[in-house]
Amino acid sequence: MAFFFFYFFFLLTLSSPSSSSSSSNSLTYIVHVDHEAKPSIFPTHRHWYTSSLASLTSSPPSIIHTYDTVFHGFSARLTSQDASHLLDHPHVISVIPEQVRHLHTTRSPEFLGLRSTDKAGLLEESDFGSDLVIGVIDTGIWPERPSFDDRGLGPVPLKWKGQCIASQDFPESACNRKLVGARFFCGGYEATNGKMNETTEFRSPRDSDGHGTHTASISAGRYVFPASTLGYARGVAAGMAPKARLAAYKVCWNSGCYDSDILAAFDTAVADGVDVISLSVGGVVVPYYLDAIAIGAFGAIDRGIFVSASAGNGGPGALTVTNVAPWMTTVGAGTIDRDFPANVKLGNGKMIAGVSVYGGPGLNPGRMYPLVYGGSLIGGDGYSSSLCLEGSLDPNLVKGKIVLCDRGINSRATKGEIVRKNGGLGMIIANGVFDGEGLVADCHVLPATSVGASGGDEIRRYISESSKARSSKHPTATIVFKGTRLGIRPAPVVASFSARGPNPETPEILKPDVIAPGLNILAAWPDRIGPSGVPSDNRRTEFNILSGTSMACPHVSGLAALLKAAHPDWSPAAIRSALMTTAYRVDNRGDPMMDESTGNTSSVMDYGSGHVHPTKAMDPGLVYDITPYDYINFLCNSNYTGTNIVTITRRQADCDGARRAGHVGNLNYPSFSVVFQQYGESKMSTHFIRTVTNVGDPDSVYEIKIRPPRGTTVTVEPEKLSFRRVGQKLSFVVRVKTTEVKLSPGATNVQTGHIIWSDGKRNVTSPLVVTLQQPL
């Protein structure tokens, strides 16, 4: 009973007038409590928390969520003083401030080599993923779409414990043998923003945004024909694992996705019995013990559940990758061999390449229209009008014209709506320097297209020169829409927006892990939401084309379900290893993959191990497996405290042994990365210890091939691995030596290579990155 009185005491403290959690400066915190200290009078931790609160006579801070599976504790609105007081109590392990996350916003199965007619491929071997459940943590789902039909599916797997939470707009019958569960979590959202506006959002699992419906159908949508968006991308739509079951966990609302809700979704999904969790959401990179996504994901992989997360859309800059915990599979985005050209023809005859999926009434063929640049309109402030922000355009200056708008601040589709409201006939969106040449096709509300940075410069130059000329010729243009084009070369290309490494939290772990299709992806879309996402867009379509690492992530989630179905004994780390070591780094011309933003060759910092290759991943030969205890050793070698480690793993750690055994780079990861600080030493060296498990042929011999980074010497011992049986593990050591290079203070030099184990049939490939850093 002693702890009951302690708990009663600290809740009274929190509810006292001097530290009221309802004050204007309160925030949501996630509180980690020692679950073993629960008094025996309470059958569950939930009873413990709620009974303690109910016994109070004054109003305590209301608990938002309690957590019982991947984490033990609760979330509540607290002042910073409350949070500080909690840390002084012996059974409170940690107090984590909430972070607000944001979304990382068909032909892709065929591009990946997944064909339903193959009799010996991954789809056939896995029975299309029929007995596995993919949990999608996102904006909910529109269950009536044919992508979620349950025709031909067997009974719901017996292990499934999930529920379909019914509401006024989401009947229990919305779930079926395909959509086996649907829940929503809004406590954190409402604790910060007040009660939701149910005229604009659904208090149910129903999707009022579109993002969750789209990502769910990418991972496990059924075969649907015909499928298209406004006439574009006509054909068959299908997810990666067409027979896998889906469970939707809605955590994202109008103002974002709140950590307390995300952690509740992880907690519930794991208890429900999902096999894969797909998360196309991210935020600022923080230490793992302060990262609710990293904590929830560890609890999932600890139960054998694969977690796939989007890398983020902060590219093409370095250090932009998010969701970097090594127990998650982090997915960047690449292109596929399909695009939607919509070129700009200028009055001087020049053609500027662009893309669009506009499907409404077009511009008159052969006619040229007056062209203006928002940033040079008379009476505007230049900056706002260049971006075509609300209230920045003068209708008298844009009416009947095509308007050039710079990309940034507001959404691309919103710019089009603003131009249309002010009387514009068409729009061209020009990338800025940072965006480079990467193009994203949008379902605009007026004839519009997007062009690269160089194309934007050329259009601005033409407008400026024409305006200065003394002739009566004013700048003109039109947009030529060419529909859908297939067989594009080169493909894949690393998408410009795809977030890049190095890993900001642990540079010794290369992130992203892989890339997958994420540009202009066709997938299911809700009713009542226009394809542009603009509120005034009254068009309706069953499918939509979106881009982002949000779209790449569910490709890998679906592939993980297929691999898990084909290899039920594989761990989450083994599945990720198979995807990484079989990934490819060349395009459909046989050349090194390009970076869309620059047109230059891309690097491992852009794509990690490469682009996923599902067919090869089914038979990788060797895998780099990792246990939860290996991750604990990794955290020890990352100099995390015992309290930090318990917060993430719910386990006590003996870090003395872990630190004697190795360093942070010795986590049994399928890639190798080392950072050398140049403190005046002319020669530097390190070593990596790895263990591989044979999942190929019983009697097999693998020999090493080394492609060392420039300026380094790399050796591997032994040079040959001889396996006698499937499941056998063998270890090897990689030694890396390099010499100092001249660098200015704060500068870095990155060189990459590869280590390949080959048995003559399979190549088990791992990138090797050596970074030299000159201290400030």
Active-site positions read 138, 211, 550
| String of DSSP letters for 158-215 | TT----B--BTTB-GGG--SSEEEEEE--HHHHHHH-S--TTTS-SSSB-SSSHHHHH
Q: Are 531 and 229 in contact (CB under 8 A)?
A: yes
Residues 511, 331: contact at Cβ < 8 Å? no
Amino acid at 196: M
Overall residue count recorded for the chain in this entry? 776
Residue labelled with tokens 């940690």: 94
Q: Is the peptide bond before 775 cis (omega within 30 degrees of 0)?
A: no
Measure the CA–CA gap between 226 and 234, rounded to whole angstroms. 7
Task: Assign 139 to helix, strand or coil.
Answer: coil
Of the CA atoms within 13 Å of residue 30, those in its CB half-sphere come to 29
Question: Which class for 569: exposed (0-12), middle (13-18), buried (19 or more C-beta within 10 A)?
Answer: exposed
C-alpha closest to that of 187 among 257, 280, 139: 257
CA 52/CA 587 separation, integer angstroms: 61
Are the CB atoms for 21 and 61 separated by under 8 Å? yes
Q: Is 553 helix (H, G, I), strand (E, B) or coil?
A: helix
What is d(CA 113, CA 588) in angstroms, rounded to the nearest whole number?
A: 13
Rounded to 5°, the CA angle 245-251-255 comes to 145
Can you list the positions of beta strands (E) in 455-563?
A: 476-481, 485-486, 514-517, 521-524, 543-546
Cβ pair 101, 259 in contact under 8 A? yes
In terms of DSSP bridges, do strands 448-451 and 306-310 run parallel, antiparallel, or are they unpaired? unpaired
The C-alpha atoms of residue 199 and residue 373 are separated, in whole angstroms, by 37
Q: How far is CA 129 from CA 70, 361, 367, 553, 565, in A?
A: 25, 42, 52, 17, 6
- Under a CB-based contact definition with an 8 Å cutoff, are residues 387 and 405 in contact? yes
